[in-house]
Chains A and B, each alone.
Chain A
Amino acid sequence: MTVSLTLENITAHYGKTMVLEDLNLHVGEGELVSLLGSSGCGKTTTLRLVAGFLEPTAGHIRLGDRDLTRLPSHARDIGLVFQTYALFPHLSVKDNVAFGLKQRGIATAERNKRAMDMVERVGLSGFADRYPANLSGGQRQRVALARALVIDPPLLMFDEPLSNLDAKLRVEMRVEIRRLQQANGTTALYVTHDQEEAFSISDRVAIMNKGRIMQLDTPEVLYSRPANAFVADFVGFENVIEAVATGEDGDMILAEAGGALLKLPKSHFELPGKEFLLAARADGLTVTAAPGEGLPATLGLRTYLGRAYQYVCETQAGTLTANGPLGAPLETGANAVLIPQPEQCCVLPREAL
């Protein structure tokens, strides 16, 4: 049974503070969507709303054709993996995993069998009788996962499930989570503030800021075509330059930015308006010795990246970060021009952040 999760116009408050504002989110059947954002942006709050630990002040939550909004938490049938794992300290691994089955009134024999099967699936066969206090972080994480999976919920939710693990285990476990989620075809909502983790595990990622979703898209689209300056900054576009379109020249768009005339190929860019923002990664602005056609800049600090040199550049459009080729390092104080590389740049609407 696969179902979709829908959050419609959700607003949530803690006391008088608004934490989520008119949030809309759809997670398709069998899809894994991540909520990605900095600390305090409302990721956990969103999960708590869906789990029923918090009531929205407005809006609806639907799972398949069920309206969850006013349903008590214990009747929602959602598997939840907590950041701190929240294992029951007084129960063995096996009993932790069997807990949800017991609540569903499943007979002892079948319960034990299903719990043991799941314990085995997460690779803890030898640990079934241990207590959580005697497990490593990674093993606890597996128990938490098994406990949520065994009830075979239509929806799985994860709240930064890997943040307490070391880097190597984090990569291993996220592959594991993805594998189990896909094998069961379970719909999943996954919270993290690690961009790499979100992008590697998800079908789609929602980038959040201050209680709102700034963009919800596939990792590929987010990475190459952010919809606004916030997302651009989030996915690593170091430079956001204000620009104004001034005309056209054949298949080129002419634009003025930082006191210079830029030519942008029409095939790559679709301007959101006359005034727009040009976003570029450091790799998307090539530093070349002046004179030349591009954004004039005075070079500041130079750092060696291995594949290129990176320069801090003072321009009329502000301080930018740009890369130059390895062959000819330029000195601090030199005049140079920055040439935008269309494949590594994108245009954004100019609006208040």
Chain B
Amino acid sequence: MKRKLHPALIAFAVLVFIFLTGPLVIIIGSSLSSSEFLEFPPQGLSLRWYENAFDISAFRRTMGTSFFLAVAGTALSMLVGVPAAYAMARYRVQLPGWLGNVFVLPVLIPEIVLGFSIMKTITTGYEVPVLPSLLIGHALLVLPYCVRVTGASLNSFDFSIEEAAVSLGCPRWKAFFIVILPNIRAGLIAAFILAFITSLNDVSISLFLTGPGVSTLPIQLLAHMEQFFDPTIASVSVVLMFITVGVMAVVERTLGLTFLTK
């Protein structure tokens, strides 16, 4: 027997679908426009704005910076976040309960405040150069994802396999790498992707930390938009989108992304 769906439910589902995909359709559409203005539906089809985007060296440069920050910032954050998540899951009884919340602070504090504080202390206070302070800022920004998502897969973790490894002659530190990490791989990948995307798209932190000569792609887009309101920004967005999707696809192919559907 076929289940009957209420018409209102169908209508609601369609609305949600339009709401989610609409912006993508508009951006992709307007990036293909041949007119001088950002508009939808596009007037005529052309790839000239893609060409234009790649012609502007600032976009090429900041895209490199953005990717570097997303990869290095996330890696740095994982280096701190994964051991922290492990310790909090393993020694839950001994450690105070509020400790986990400390690692979520960066998402609780308004990003503007966070960005400003980092600028005040790191860039102005310690006179750290622009790129390193951007790196620190991005690592902090994504730390909650690294700790929380990794922590979620460690919370239900049966640590007796760690003891099994130790009883079989494997030192504790080694057991962390060969027994714990392989078994929370799904959580690690999820954490990495979430953190990577968050870093790549960040505006508010980068706004405070970018300086002379060093900028990120979203900031550069913002700057470009202030002067030109042409479809270049749409085409850059589309490129950014496809690269993100590409990264996720590669990760899925190599490591398996079934955790998102499970």
Which residues of A pack against B, CB within 8 Å? 51-53, 72-80, 82, 84, 86-90, 99-100, 103-104, 147-148, 151
**In the docked arrangement, what's the CA distance between A80 and B182, Å?**
22
B97 at the interface (CB under 8 A from A): no
Asked if B156 CB lies within 8 Å of chain A CBs, one says no
Q: Which residue of A lies closest to B171 (CB)?
A: A74
Total number of residue pairs linking A and B with CB closer than 8 Å: 61
Which of B17-25, B50-58, B60-68, B161-169 contacts its partner?
B161-169
Q: Which 7 A-B pairs have the closest CB atoms?
A: A100-B168, A103-B169, A86-B160, A86-B164, A80-B167, A90-B182, A73-B166
Min CB distance A196 to B, Å, is 26
Query: Is B92 positioned at the interface, with any CB of A under 8 Å from its CB?
Result: no
Minimal Cβ-Cβ distance residue in A for B169: A103
Q: Is the CB of A89 within 8 A of B168?
A: no
Q: Are A51 and B168 in contact (CB under 8 A)?
A: no
Q: Which residue of chain B is the closest to A151 with respect to CB atoms?
A: B168
Interchain CB contact under 8 A, A100 and B183 = no
Known: A88-B179, A90-B182. A100 touches B169 (CB 8 A): yes
Nearest B residue to A53 via CB reads: B163
Query: Could you pull out 15 A-B pairs where Cβ atoms are within 8 angstroms?
Result: A51-B167, A73-B172, A74-B166, A74-B169, A75-B169, A76-B167, A80-B167, A86-B161, A86-B164, A87-B164, A88-B165, A88-B183, A89-B183, A100-B169, A104-B169
* Pair B161/A87 contact, Cβ less than 8 Å: yes
Query: Shortest distance in angstroms between B248's beta carbon and chain A's nearest beta carbon?
Result: 23
From known contacts A86-B158, A86-B161, A87-B161, infer whether A78 and B183 are also in contact, taking CB-CB under 8 Å: no
A51 close to B165 (CB less than 8 A): no
Q: Is B170 in the interface zone, CB < 8 Å from A?
A: yes
- State whether A84 touches B167 (Cβ < 8 A): no
Whether A84 pairs with B160 at a CB distance below 8 angstroms is yes
Given contacts A88-B179, A89-B183, A90-B182, contact A103 B168 (CB under 8 A): yes
Q: How many residues of B contact A (CB 8 A)?
A: 17
CB-CB under 8 A from A74, the residues of chain B are 166-172
A residues within 8 A CB of B160?
Answer: 82, 84, 86
Partner of B168, one of A52, A84, A90, A147: A147
| B182 proximity list for chain A (CB < 8 A) | 90
Set of chain A residues within 8 Å of B158, measured between Cβ atoms: 84, 86
Contact of B170 among A53, A77, A84, A103 (CB under 8 A): A103
Which A residues are CB-close (under 8 A) to B165? 88, 99
> Distance (Å) between the CB of A205 and the closest chain B CB?
24
Q: For the complex, give the distance between the alpha carbons of A148 and B167 in Å.
A: 9
| Residue from A72, A77, A90 within 8 A of B183 (CB atoms) | A90
- A194 CB to closest chain B CB (Å) equals 21
Q: Which of B167, B169, B172 has the most CB of A within 10 A?
A: B167
Q: In the complex, A82 Cα to B167 Cα: how many Å?
A: 11
Residues from 39 to 90 in B contacting A, C-beta threshold 8 Å: none
Q: Which residues of A contact B161 (CB under 8 A)?
A: 86-89
Q: Report the Cα distance A154→B119, complex, angstroms.
A: 61
Could you tell me the distance in whole angstroms from the C-beta of B45 to the nearest C-beta in chain A? 50
Q: Tell me which residues across on chain B come within 8 A of A89, comparing CB atoms.
A: 161, 183
Closest residue of chain B to A100 (Cβ to Cβ) is: B168
Task: Among B168, B171, B172, B183, point to the contact of A99 (Cβ < 8 A).
Answer: B168
Residues of A within 8 A of B171 (CB): 72, 74
> A197 vs B168: C-alpha distance in the bound complex, in angstroms?
26
Interface-central residue, A74, A76, A148, by most chain B CB under 10 Å: A74
Task: Give the distance to chain A from B89, nearest Cβ to Cβ, in Å.
Answer: 16
Which residues of B sit under 8 angstroms from A52, Cβ to Cβ?
A: 166
In the complex, are the beta carbons of A82 and B164 less than 8 A apart?
yes
Which residues of chain B are near A88, meaning CB under 8 Å?
A: 161, 164-165, 179, 183
Nearest-neighbour CB distance to chain B for A65, whole angstroms, equals 20
Q: How far, in angstroms, from A100 to B167 measured CA to CA in the complex?
A: 8
Tell me which residues across on chain A come within 8 A of B183, comparing CB atoms: 88-90
Q: How far is the CA of A278 from the CA of B141 in the complex (A)?
A: 74
A74 CA to B161 CA, complexed, in Å? 13
Give the distance in Å from the alpha carbon of A292 to the alpha carbon of B76 in the complex: 89
CB nearest neighbor in B for A79: B167
By beta carbon, the residue of chain A nearest B175 is: A74
**B residues in contact with A148, CB < 8 Å:** 167
Closest approach, in angstroms, between the C-beta of A86 and any C-beta of chain B?
Answer: 4
Cβ distance B121 to chain A, nearest Cβ, rounded Å: 39
A53 to B168, CA, bound (A): 13
Nearest-CB residue, chain A, relative to B164: A86
Q: Which residues of B contact A73 (CB under 8 A)?
A: 163, 166-167, 172
Contact pattern, B 160-200, Cβ under 8 Å of A = 1, otherwise 0: 11011111111110000001001101000000000000000
